[in-house]
């Protein structure tokens, strides 16, 4: 009725009668009150996923990721997960793109691209611009391309019509509009949200 549904562990208000969360989705430490919320915007008539980012260090193991199902314009700095490989990507200006790859050993590899190369590929193939030598990644797992018409870089799962095996996951630290078949990952838990 208030347009807000909370997901998290079973914990109660001070009166010990009313639960804080509407749905329990995992057994976790009770120091984390709410993992995420779904909010209905009555004016826009849309649902939004709202991650709990009040204390990111506290909920590190329960960060919220959305599986990329369509091409995403890079309008801000995004953090992407491909499984063990993580990277941030940001459009510097109308033509340049910065990509930081975070390696398991704690090192960071920095890549700068401009529109002279309008397609960037990430995966295990030796032809990729960024090679991830592990069978957990698709030959071309993720691609980034430049659209001259709107002068924007886009990121997508796979390449062309071919999707990756394990998906390209966007870290959500901002409200995300829920569409049909929105797939989300929190820790090792997978959920699918559908509008009916």
Over the stretch 148-196, which tens digit does the pLDDT of each residue have?
Answer: 999 999 999 999 999 999 999 999 988 999 988 899 988 778 888 888 7
Enter the DSSP assignment of 19. Answer: B
Of the pLDDT bands very low, low, confident and very high (cuts 50, 70, 90), residue 58 is very low
d(CA 4, CA 38): 6
d(CA 26, CA 180): 24
Give this prediction's pTM.
0.86
Is residue 94 over pLDDT 90? no
Tokens of 164: 């990756």
**Residue 136 · residue 130 · CB < 8 Å:** no
d(CA 175, CA 51): 7
The angle formed by the CA atoms of residues 91, 95 and 98, to the nearest 5 degrees, is: 35
Is residue 59 over pLDDT 50? no
DSSP bridge pairs for 4: 39
pLDDT at 179: 85
Determine the average pLDDT of the residues in 132-142.
Answer: 94
**Residue 167 · residue 67 · CB < 8 Å:** yes
């Amino acid at each position: 009725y208030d347009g807000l549904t909370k997901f998290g562990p079973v914990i109660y208000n001070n009166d010990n009668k009313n639960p804080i969360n509407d749905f329990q989705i995992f057994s976790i430490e009770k120091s984390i009150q709410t993992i995420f919320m779904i909010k209905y915007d009555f004016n826009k008539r849309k649902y939004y996923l709202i991650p709990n980012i009040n204390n990111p260090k506290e909920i590190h193991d329960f960060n919220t990721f959305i599986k990329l199902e369509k091409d995403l314009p890079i309008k801000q700095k995004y953090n992407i997960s491909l499984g063990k490989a993580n990277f941030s990507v940001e459009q510097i200006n109308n033509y340049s793109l910065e990509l930081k790859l975070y390696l398991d050993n704690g090192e960071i590899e920095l890549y700068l691209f401009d529109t002279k190369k309008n397609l960037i590929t990430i995966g295990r193939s030796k032809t990729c611009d960024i090679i991830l030598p592990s069978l957990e990644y698709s030959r071309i797992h993720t691609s980034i391309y430049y659209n001259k018409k709107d002068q924007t870089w886009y990121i997508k799962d796979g390449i062309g019509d071919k999707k990756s095996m394990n998906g390209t996951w966007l870290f959500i630290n901002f409200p995300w509009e829920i569409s049909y078949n929105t797939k989300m990952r929190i820790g090792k838990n997978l959920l699918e949200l559908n509008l009916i």
